[in-house]
A and B are shown apart, each in its own frame.
Chain A
Amino acid sequence: MRTAVVVFPGSNCDRDVMNAILDMELGPVDMVWHDEDGFPERPDLVVLPGGFSYGDYLRSGALAAKSRVMKAVRGIADEGGLVLGICNGFQILTEARMLPGALLPNTSMRFICAKSFVRVERADTPFTNAYASGQVVQFPIAHHEGLYFLPPDELGELEARGQVVYRYANSSAGSADAGEEYSPNGSLNGIAGIINASGNVLGLMPHPERATLKGLIRGTDGRNFWQSIRNHFGALEANG
């Protein structure tokens, strides 16, 4: 499989994502500047990385969502390829209307940079199949606008359709209150990550790429995130 990581002015997790994918041996990674019309080679996976594209001017992700490359990103999604937005990438996907909802400032009004736990709500997606459903994993968070918002009716529909894939939990497995809902940023229903209705576009605020390299910082729960993507394409290949 082949990955394209889009680099916006102000992206700062682009190389973290590249290093995670290379470490997991998921195949070649192309770093693609936001002003390009397309990709050097057709990617199977496009990643919109974290950071502060355009300095978060206007609204987080709003200007990046209008970037030239986004037309090609939409094309990959329409063809069934995988598109992943992490943190600022999630904000960009909502601003581009490739995912529903919006990310508002954290209720604490603070930038939160912390260890966080999320519960895997579904293990039948290309981004979660290496986890068990209900498993609690640790991915760091680092954001100021992470409160997932959707008007009540639409939120109910999103939940009913099972589009909530990652939900904040208050601690890791093994402790008494493991997996109980907890919203560090005020996110509605504790939502940390959602998938589109077709199941190939995922946005999440936590950073699996920061929990991937061994010995870098504590925690390698993110390895199975990338493993899930590998499994997805492996299965596609096996089915010819």
Chain B
Amino acid sequence: MIILVIIRLGRHKKDMRCFKADVTVLPKDGVLDIQGKAVEKTLRSHGYSEVDEVRVGRFIRLAIRAEDESEAGEKICRMADDLLSNGLIESYSYTLEAMR
């Protein structure tokens, strides 16, 4: 009886690193931000007269894999343009942090 043992040598994989990406999405200037206006008005009426402007947006935290920080940034931008934000009415910014 012949037992064939196939050893699969793992293909050389690129080292993938994990990143934490924090994406902030805000209404663009010139786009009516009803929530921001309401919060701004309420803060002022509660005595916070120093408040000049409030914008209310969205905060999204992702854990992603990428070769390096620049690739992680590219991936985040693609996702933000494609789905996380609507470029007509919103703008976004992000920060990246390497994990582990």
Contacts and interface: CB of A to CB of B under 8 A. Distances in A.
Given A104-B32, A107-B34, A109-B38, A149 B89 contact: yes
A179 to B, nearest CB: 26
Report the contact-size class of chain A (Cβ under 8 Å from the partner).
Answer: 10 to 19
B31 A104 contact: yes
Interface residues of B, number: 12
Specify the main secondary structure of chain A where it touches its partner: loop
Contacts of A105: 34-35
Q: Which 9 A-B pairs have the closest CB atoms?
A: A102-B89, A105-B34, A102-B88, A109-B34, A102-B86, A59-B86, A107-B34, A109-B38, A104-B32
Contacts of B35: 105, 109
A95 B34 contact: no
B26 to A, nearest CB: 13
A67 B31 CA distance: 27
A148 to B, nearest CB: 11
A54 to B, nearest CB: 12
Interface string B21-50: 000000000111011001000000000000
A81 interface: no
Contacts of A101: 88
A104 B34 contact: yes
B32 A95 contact: no
B23 to A, nearest CB: 12
Contact of A147 (B30, B32, B58, B88): B32
A62 B83 contact: yes
Nearest to A65: B83
A186 interface: yes
A186 B32 contact: yes
Given A66-B83, A102-B88, A104-B32, 12 more contacts: A62-B86, A95-B86, A101-B88, A104-B31, A104-B34, A105-B34, A105-B35, A106-B34, A107-B34, A109-B35, A149-B31, A149-B89
A154 to B, nearest CB: 9
Interface in B25-81: 30-32, 34-35, 38, 58
Interface string A70-108: 000000000000000000000000010000011011110
B34 to A, nearest CB: 5
A170 B38 CA distance: 26
Interface in A141-193: 147, 149-151, 186
